[in-house]
C-alpha cells in the first residue's frame, strides 16, 4: 500500500545464527560503561568516581602497561630480511617467521615442530573460527567446552551452526577438570544424536585462572584419543603462571611423550595479546596442527588463502614472542628485567584482588594460578535476586551494573561465561596498574558492603 | 579390528562448505609457481627463465613498489594521539580514525558520513565475510554476483552456505553491466525459489578493469531499490582509474543525490591494499553502511566484537589513505609526486600489456580503464582444448600452466573468475616493475606464438 519499499534488511530477515550469538565481554555492561565515560568527559564530577576502569577485557596496554622494548625495536627485523611488510605474505604467514616459531616451540617442548603445520592469524580468535568452521557441519556436530568458558567459543560455535556440549569445571577443586564429568557429558551428547567432534581446553584457564596438572592433562589426552576427539588447546596464557608449584606444560609435549603422530589430532592456539607482552592491538597469533592428514591441512590452507594472509606486523611479533632474547644476547638484560617486572607485578595484583574478594561477605575466590582473571563466586541475597528479576536482569549482571554505576569498575557477569545454575560470579582482569589496586580494593569492598546491606534478607 | 582409532579428522568428515569453496587466485597454478621458485633457488639455470613473476595477485609491494613515504612516516600519529597501538581498540576501530575516514568520505562525495556507520576490518575481505554471514541464512538465499568476479565472493558465498546468482558482464561492451541481464537473472532465481538478498558490483572492475558510467550506476541503484536488494559496492579500486574520459563515482554519492536514507541499503568496501598505496600486508580496510536499521547495525557490531578489533596499524593506514596530505600541507609535495608517479606508471603498464595482448593471434583484450588487471580473451585452438582434456585440465588452466613453465609468468586462468561457457581468458595484474614490462611482453608473445603453432588446427 505504501509507495516506499521496506528497506532491504529488516532484522527479522538476517541469519539467525548471527542473532543468536552472544559475547558478554563486550556486551551490555561494556556499552553502559562507554556511555558513562562519555558522560564523565562532558561533565567531570557528575559521578562518584573520576574514571572508568575496564576490567572486562584482558587488554594490558589499555590500562597503562608499556610495550616490551625488544618487541617494538625489533620491528627492524622486517627490513633486515629484505621483506616488505606492505606485501601479502604466504597465506600461512612468512615462511622465515614460521620457522622461528617452530624453533621456539621445539625449545619449549623438547620435540620438533614443522613450520608447515603453523598457520599465522590475526589473533588467536581468527584461528579458532577457522577450525570450528572446518569441523562443524550442522547442529548435530558438537564441541565439548568447559563451563565457565571464554565466550569466543560459544559465540563461534553458534555462528558456525554447531552445538556446544558443556562440561563443568569443579569450582570446589580450584576449577579442575574431572574426567568422569567429561565422560558423562559425552554419553549425554551421543544419546541425543550429537556427534562430538572436538574438545576445548583452556590452560591456563579463562575466566577461571587455573593451571592444569600434568596428570590431569594426561587424562584429557587419553580421553580424546580413545573417543576420537580433536583436542583444541587454548594455550594463549602459556606465559602467565604466577604460582611456584605449577608450571605450563603444552598439550603437544604431553602427547609427544606418549603417543605416535597419527593417534591424536591437536590444535594449539597461541596469541601475542596475552603473556607479559600483551600486544592486543597488533592482532597476531597462530595455531599449530599436530596429527592432521595432509588433505585436511590442504583444506585449511585453502580457507586461509581466501583471506590472503594475516597482518605482517602481527606475524613478526608472533615470531618474536616465541623467540625472545636468550641469556647472553645483547637485548636479554633489558628484556628479562621488563618481563620479570610485569609477571611478578601481575602475580602480586592477582593475590591482592583474590585476598580482597575472599575477605568480602558471601564471596569466595579461587586462587589465580595463571592467566589474567579472577572469577569469584558471590552468594547474592534473595532480595537482590528479586530486585534483578524486577529489572529484567540476570542477578550477576544486576550486581555488575550496580558496581559500575557506583565505582566505575567494569567487570563481566559470570552468566556471560556460563556457571552452575543457581551460582553467581563476576570476572575481573588483574590488569589495572599496580599503584591503583589498593584504591580499587577499597571501592570494591565499600560497594559490596553497601550492596549487601541494601539487599540483606 | 585395529587397536588404533582412526585419526579424528578424515577429510570426508569436514564441513562440506569448506570442501566446496574455491579460490583460484592462489590455486594450483600458484602452488606450481612456488614449487618452480624453490627449484630455481636450488638449481639456478635449470629453467628457461631466472625468476618467477607473480602476476596472479594484486600485490604491488611484492613486485617492488615502494611504500608511499607519508603513509609510513605518519605511523607517529599513533603516539601523537596518546593511544597505544598495542591495545585492543573499539570493535569498529578507533573512533578518532573513523572520524578521519568519515571526513575523507564527505570530501569525496559531497555528502556527510557518520563515523558510527564505519567498521574498520583486517582488509576488505573480512568485511565482505561479515556482511555475507549476516545476510545468508541458507542455500535459498541468493547473492547476485558479476561473472567474471573476484573469487572472494564465490568462495565466501559457498562458505556461508548461500547461492551465487550470476549475472554476466558484457565483454563486447567493454565489460559493461546490462540491466536487462540483471532482471532476467533475478527472475530466474525467484522462479527457482531463491530469495535474492543482495547484489555485488565491483567498480572499477576486478578482473575486468572497467569503470562504470554514471548512468549505468544510476540504473543499478534504481534496480536495487525497486527489488529490495542490498547493494554491495566493492570500491577498493576507487583510486585506480587510468583513462581521462572516466572517473570514479561512489555509489553512495549516486544514492544520496537521488534517494532518501531509508530507501536503499548500501555497503561500500574500501581497502588499503589497492590504489596507489598497495599496503597489502598491513591488512586494513573498512565498510561504510548506509540505510541500515539500528537493530541490524547492532548485530553487525556484536559479530565484530567477538573478534575484538582489527589491527591498529591497518586502522591508522585506512584513516590516512582517506585523508592524504592536502595541497599546501608540508607533506603534500612529496606525497603528490609519489602518487602521480605510481598512477601514471600503472596507466602506461596497463596500456603496454593491453596492446601486447591485442597484437597476439586469437587474443582480444578490453581496455583497462581502472583497477589493476587485464582479462584478455584467448581463442584456444581445438587441439589445445583436446590436449587439456587429456591432461584433465580446464583449457585456460592448461594454457596458464604452459605459460608458467615456459616463462615463469604466473597468470590466473579465467575459469577461476567465471566466464561465458566456451570462452577462455586469463587474468594478469599490471603490476610488474615498469622496466620489466618490455621483457615480459616479449616472453608472452614468444610463448603464445609457439603455443599456437604447437596446437594449430
Burial B228-243 (b: 16+ CB within 10 A, else e): bbbbbbbbbbbbbbbe
What distance lies between CA A135 and its chain's CA centroid?
20
- What pLDDT was estimated at residue A59? 76
* pLDDT mean across residues, chain B: 89
CA distance B104 to chain A (A): 22
Chain A residue numbers touching B41 (CB-CB < 8 A): none
Distances in whole angstroms, Cα of residue A367 to Cα of each of A171, A353, A383: 11, 10, 29
Residues A296 and A301: their CA atoms lie apart, in Å, by: 9
Residues A115 and A409: their CA atoms lie apart, in Å, by: 43
- State ipTM: 0.89
- What pLDDT was estimated at residue A56? 79
Closest CA to B202 of B235, B229, B170, B164: B235
Q: Quick one: average pLDDT of B412-428?
A: 93
- What pLDDT was estimated at residue A74? 66
The DSSP code for B122 is: S
Nearest 5°: phi and psi at B44? -60, 140
Say yes or no to pLDDT of B322 above 70: yes
- What pLDDT was estimated at residue B48? 83
Considering only CB atoms, A125 lies closest to which of B125, B152, B308, namely: B308
Residues B185 and B188: their CA atoms lie apart, in Å, by: 5
Considering only CB atoms, B133 lies closest to which of A5, A15, A303, namely: A15
- What pLDDT was estimated at residue A273? 92
Closest CA to A303 of B151, B305, B268, B237: B151
Contact call for A224 and B8, based on CB within 8 A:
yes
Say yes or no to pLDDT of B66 above 90: no
Size of interface A-B (CB pairs under 8 A): 249
For residue A230, what are the β-bridge partners?
A: A198
Considering only CB atoms, B293 lies closest to which of A9, A22, A264, namely: A9
Closest CA to B57 of B418, B434, B409, B446: B409
Say yes or no to pLDDT of B55 above 50: yes
Residue of chain B with shortest Cα separation from A71: B86
**What cell numbers appear for A302 in the block?**
585453502
Q: Quick one: average pLDDT of A430-447?
A: 92
Residues B413 and B400: their CA atoms lie apart, in Å, by: 6
User: Among residues of chain B, what percentage have pLDDT more than 90?
Assistant: 68
For residue A372, what are the β-bridge partners?
A: none
CA distance A357 to chain B (A): 27
Residues B362 and B376: their CA atoms lie apart, in Å, by: 10
**Which tens digits make up the pLDDT trace of A186-198?**
999 999 999 999 9
Specify the range with the lowest mean pLDDT, choosing from A22-36, A432-446, B234-248, B335-349.
A22-36
Contact call for A263 and B4, based on CB within 8 A:
yes
**Which tens digits make up the pLDDT trace of A192-242?**
999 999 999 999 999 999 999 999 999 999 999 999 999 999 999 999 999
pLDDT grade for B260, boundaries at 50, 70 and 90: confident
Q: When comparing pLDDT for B6 and B96, which is higher?
A: B96
Say yes or no to pLDDT of A6 above 60: no
Q: Quick one: average pLDDT of B426-441?
A: 92
Closest CA to A209 of A261, A174, A181: A174
Chain A residue numbers touching B307 (CB-CB < 8 A): 122-123, 125-126, 129
Contact call for B91 and A26, based on CB within 8 A:
yes
Q: What are the structural domains, with CATH classification, of chain A?
A: 11-65+334-454 (3.90.1150.10), 69-321 (3.40.640.10)
**Which tens digits make up the pLDDT trace of A130-155?**
999 999 999 999 999 999 999 899 99
CA distance B278 to chain A (A): 7
CA distance B8 to chain A (A): 5
Considering only CB atoms, A8 lies closest to which of B16, B85, B230, namely: B230
The DSSP code for A282 is: G
pLDDT grade for A81, boundaries at 50, 70 and 90: very low
Chain A residue numbers touching B128 (CB-CB < 8 A): none
pLDDT grade for B10, boundaries at 50, 70 and 90: confident
Q: When comparing pLDDT for A118 and A9, which is higher?
A: A118
**Which tens digits make up the pLDDT trace of A270-304?**
999 999 998 888 999 999 999 998 888 988 998 88
Q: List helix spans (H) across B262-394.
A: 294-306, 312-321, 332-358, 382-390
A399: Cβ contacts below 8 Å, ≥ 6 apart:
A378, A380, A384, A388, A413, A424, A426, A451
Is the distance from CB of B287 to CB of B98 less than 8 angstroms?
A: no
Distances in whole angstroms, Cα of residue A315 to Cα of each of A95, A275, A322: 10, 16, 11
Half-sphere CA count of A86, side-chain side, radius 13 A: 20
- What pLDDT was estimated at residue B383? 96
For residue A119, what are the β-bridge partners?
A: A287
Amino acid at each position: 500500500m505504501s509507495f516506499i519499499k521496506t528497506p532491504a534488511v529488516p532484522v527479522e530477515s538476517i541469519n539467525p545464527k548471527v542473532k543468536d550469538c552472544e559475547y558478554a565481554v563486550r556486551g551490555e555492561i561494556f556499552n553502559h560503561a562507554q556511555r558513562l565515560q562519555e558522560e564523565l568527559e562532558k561533565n567531570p564530577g557528575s559521578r562518584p568516581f573520576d574514571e572508568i576502569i575496564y576490567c572486562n577485557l584482558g587488554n594490558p596496554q589499555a590500562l597503562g602497561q608499556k610495550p616490551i622494548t625488544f618487541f617494538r625495536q625489533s620491528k627492524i627485523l622486517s627490513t633486515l630480511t629484505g621483506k616488505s611488510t606492505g606485501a601479502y605474505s604466504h597465506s600461512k604467514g612468512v615462511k622465515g617467521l614460521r620457522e622461528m616459531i617452530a624453533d621456539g616451540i621445539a625449545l619449549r617442548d623438547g620435540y620438533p615442530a614443522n613450520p608447515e603445520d603453523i598457520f599465522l592469524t590475526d589473533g588467536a580468535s581468527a584461528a579458532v573460527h577457522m577450525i570450528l568452521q572446518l569441523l562443524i557441519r550442522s547442529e548435530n556436530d558438537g564441541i565439548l567446552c568447559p563451563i565457565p568458558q571464554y565466550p569466543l567459543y560459544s559465540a563461534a560455535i553458534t555462528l558456525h551452526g554447531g552445538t556446544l556440549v558443556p562440561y563443568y569445571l569443579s569450582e570446589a577443586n580450584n576449577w579442575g577438570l574431572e574426567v568422569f564429568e567429561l565422560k558423562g557429558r559425552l554419553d549425554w551428547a551421543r544419546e541425543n544424536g550429537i556427534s562430538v567432534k572436538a574438545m576445548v581446553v583452556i590452560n591456563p584457564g579463562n575466566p577461571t585462572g587455573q593451571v592444569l596438572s600434568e596428570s590431569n592433562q594426561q587424562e584429557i589426552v587419553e580421553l580424546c584419543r580413545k573417543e576420537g576427539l580433536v583436542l583444541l588447546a587454548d594455550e594463549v596464557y602459556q606465559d602467565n603462571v604466577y604460582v611456584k608449584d605449577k608450571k605450563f606444560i603444552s598439550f603437544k609435549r604431553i602427547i609427544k611423550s606418549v603417543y605416535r603422530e597419527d593417534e591424536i589430532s591437536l590444535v594449539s592456539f597461541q596469541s601475542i595479546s596475552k603473556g607479559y607482552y600483551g600486544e592486543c592491538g597488533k592482532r597476531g597469533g597462530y595455531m599449530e596442527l599436530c596429527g592432521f592428514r595432509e588433505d585436511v591441512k590442504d583444506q585449511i590452507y585453502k580457507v586461509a588463502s581466501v583471506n590472503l594472509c594475516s597482518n605482517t606486523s602481527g606475524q613478526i611479533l608472533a615470531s618474536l614472542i616465541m623467540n625472545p632474547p636468550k641469556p647472553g644476547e645483547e637485548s636479554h638484560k633489558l628484556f628479562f628485567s621488563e618481563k620479570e617486572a610485569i609477571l611478578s607485578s601481575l602475580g602480586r595484583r592477582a593475590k591482592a584482588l583474590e585476598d580482597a574478594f575472599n575477605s568480602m561477605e558471601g564471596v569466595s575466590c579461587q586462587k589465580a594460578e595463571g592467566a589474567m582473571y579472577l572469577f569469584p563466586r558471590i552468594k547474592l541475597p534473595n532480595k537482590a535476586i528479586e530486585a534483578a528479576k524486577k529489572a529484567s536482569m540476570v542477578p550477576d549482571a544486576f550486581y555488575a551494573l550496580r558496581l559500575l554505576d557506583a565505582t566505575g569498575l567494569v567487570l563481566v557477569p559470570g552468566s556471560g561465561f556460563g556457571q552452575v545454575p543457581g551460582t553467581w560470579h563476576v570476572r575481573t582482569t588483574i590488569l589495572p596498574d599496580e599503584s591503583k589496586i589498593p584504591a580499587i580494593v577499597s571501592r570494591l569492598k565499600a560497594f559490596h558492603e553497601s550492596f549487601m546491606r541494601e539487599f540483606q534478607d
